Amino acid sequence: MRIVGVILATLLAQQASAQLADVDWWKTTTFYQVYPRSFKDSNANGIGDLEGITLKLDHFVDIGIGGVWLSPVFKSPMKDFGYDVSDFREIDPIFGTMADFEELAQGCKDRGLKLVLDFVPNHSSDEHVWFNKSIAREDPYTDYYTWRDPKGINETSGEPIPPNNWLSVFGGSAWEYNEEREQFYLHQFVAGQPDLNYRNPLVVTEMEDILRFWMDKGADGFRLDAIPHLMEDQTFPDEPPSNDPEFTPDQWGSLSHIYTADLPELYPIIYGFRKVVDEKQEELGRQMVMMVEAYTSLENTMKYYGEGDVKGAHFPFNFEFITNVNNETTASELKEIIDRWQNALPSGAWSNWVIGNHDRTRVASRFGRDFSIAAITMGQLLPGTAITYNGEEINMEDTWISWADTVDPQGCQAGPEFYEKFSRDPVRTPYQWDDSVYAGFTIPDSEKPWLPVNGNYEELNLAAQKQEENSPYAIYKKLTAMRKDMNAVKSGQLGTSTVGENIFVFTRYLQSADEKSVLVVVNLAENEVNADLTGVPTLRSGAMITYHVGVNSSYTAGQELSPSSVNVPARGSLVFLYTNAASTTVLASLLLVFSVILSLLH
């Protein structure tokens, strides 16, 4: 009978390792988004740079992330702080030199870190040489951008009238008149970001070559920027109003973007980029990754994974925690949001969870200091890749910025009355390393940082949190360690449930007696809740649970308790470990009883 037990255990172990053999680095890791202007300034000009990031490489290792994603560091007039690229193959001097990039890439490699770049295919800068040649109608650049004749001339002002009512994401008309070419060009973002014309195959080829260039330089993949905007309807009709009272007529949200976003023709372009990435992967023998930024419907998001056998992105970002979870979300809604995403995944597609980025209110400001950690905990322990925006690991908060200090084009364009609703400056302020002047982002007698440091830096900074036992930093490290060490987090099944009105629970479970499964309990209420978790369907009846990590917990790590009475702190989360399957000895005893019964029957 012992032999049967051993055979069973071996079979179970084999099953687990067969699953793991297929798991690539980009699946089990955490990607950490660095906003280079605000991470670390090495040359005292008040703006972060590549050398600064290289100086801080050990921070990435320390917090247990495996992939570094850099917001754009390419040559740019900085009208959208790097998302307006004037040379896709050059490093902007503000960030350093190509040698600095190579040093950073090597530094990553030496530490086993992957380096992912931001690829901005929708537009270039208006200072790109292609655009200047396009203005001059110099072939082959004439149709590199979307040019249209004016609809007419305004009789009172004498100004040319834009071809239609399309609006820029940042507000105001999406059309800018160019005197020299005597035509309007399309810009879905600022006027300094003319939209490239993806109906022109030469543009596609140019952009694919740029992907190849950076993979040859050492990039391990890309984050693809603003993808739903890649193509527009070629008949250029007016867009209908959205009738959303939240927006004024010149704000992007006032229209329904049926002709400028999510066009079916754009997906094959992304599938083509994937092909290029896969070919380079093959050539260089290095696994690459391609992640897509697309704020769109769930249905459209899923199209980025590919179609049939044709591969698309390794994953499109899952923005559910940014766009759908808020402070009013109930436990059952949270369960529904998570289940809906997981169920929408095409077969074989890999999940991911984004908690924040350089465009959206920081998680600690969205959800408060406690629930932000609960969100990060979920992002780290739900199935799929985890994505962290720099500063989340220490729970950095938004910084209030005056109108006078506002530099983000989206804020500036909105004007003094509305800028606070739209400006992204508050989420982009310098990283808070320590309590020295300028939070250690730059040196004391440097130029003023390009955005003010948050006034809370003396209390909220990395150095302080390294000294504290249960700081956000300490919790974050425990979570990333779980991603590395535990098969349950890498490949365990997901079970979601609710207990009462306010408790959301999920498990990551393995059918193994030898490995721990994970139980995460989240309290959405403003008060502590005592929860009986014995009815959680994926928690084995009779199993004890061992506390591992959490927010404001009354338990100590390693403490074993019954799931029948668990105190979950207000807006907090607790992580427990448990054994999901009966141990092999129990299994063996059961088999023994079974065989005795059988022999008695004979």
User: Given the rule CB under 6 A, which residues bind ligand GLC?
Assistant: 80, 83, 120, 189, 225-226, 293, 358-359
Q: Kindly tell me the burial class for residue 251, based on how many C-beta atoms sit within 10 Å of its own C-beta (0-12, 13-18, 19 or more).
A: buried
Kindly give, in sequence order, each residue whose CB lies less than 8 Å from that of residue 205, ignoring residues fewer than 6 positions away: none
Please tell me whether residue 478 adopts helix, strand or coil conformation: helix
Kindly give, in sequence order, each residue whose CB lies less than 8 Å from that of residue 10, ignoring residues fewer than 6 positions away: none
Residues with catalytic annotation?
Answer: 225, 293
- The number of beta carbons lying within 10 Å of the beta carbon of residue 302 is 17
Residue nearest to ligand GLC (CB): 83
DSSP 225: -
Point out which residues pair with 568 in neighbouring strands: 529
Q: How would you label 359-381 residue by residue, b for 16+ Cβ within 10 Å and e otherwise?
A: ebebbbbbbbbbbbbbbbbbbbb
- The number of beta carbons lying within 10 Å of the beta carbon of residue 418 is 15
Q: Which is nearer to ligand GLC, 121 or 572 (CB)?
A: 121
Q: Supply 316's token pair.
A: 């499109």
CA gyration radius, the chain: 26
Kindly give, in sequence order, each residue whose CB lies less than 8 Å from that of residue 370, ignoring residues fewer than 6 positions away: 551, 552, 569, 570, 571, 572
Q: Supply 304's token pair.
A: 């980025």
Q: Which is nearer to ligand GLC, 83 or 252 (CB)?
A: 83
Q: Which is nearer to ligand GLC, 388 or 573 (CB)?
A: 388
CB 548 within 8 A of CB 489: no
Residue at token pair 């040859």: 216
CB of 394 to ligand GLC, least distance (A): 22
CB of 449 to ligand GLC, least distance (A): 19
Q: Supply 383's token pair.
A: 């199935």
Q: Kindly tell me the burial class for residue 268, based on how many C-beta atoms sit within 10 Å of its own C-beta (0-12, 13-18, 19 or more).
A: middle
Kindly give, in sequence order, each residue whose CB lies less than 8 Å from that of residue 191, ignoring residues fewer than 6 positions away: 126, 168, 176
- The number of beta carbons lying within 10 Å of the beta carbon of residue 98 is 12
CB of 119 to ligand GLC, least distance (A): 11
Residues present in the chain in total: 602
CB of 196 to ligand GLC, least distance (A): 12
Rounded Cα–Cα distance for residues 475 and 84 (Å): 37
CB of 552 to ligand GLC, least distance (A): 33
CB of 88 to ligand GLC, least distance (A): 13
| DSSP string over 481-519 | HHHHH-HHHHH-EEEEEEETTTEEEEEEE-S-SSSEEEE
Is the peptide bond preceding residue 452 cis, with omega within 30 degrees of 0?
no
Q: Which is nearer to ligand GLC, 169 or 574 (CB)?
A: 169
Q: Which is nearer to ligand GLC, 430 or 440 (CB)?
A: 430
DSSP 241: B
Q: Which is nearer to ligand GLC, 189 or 457 (CB)?
A: 189
Report how far Cα 62 is from the mean position of its chain's Cα atoms: 20
Q: Which is nearer to ligand GLC, 230 or 373 (CB)?
A: 230
Q: Which is nearer to ligand GLC, 429 or 498 (CB)?
A: 429
Q: Which is nearer to ligand GLC, 189 or 473 (CB)?
A: 189
CB of 222 to ligand GLC, least distance (A): 13
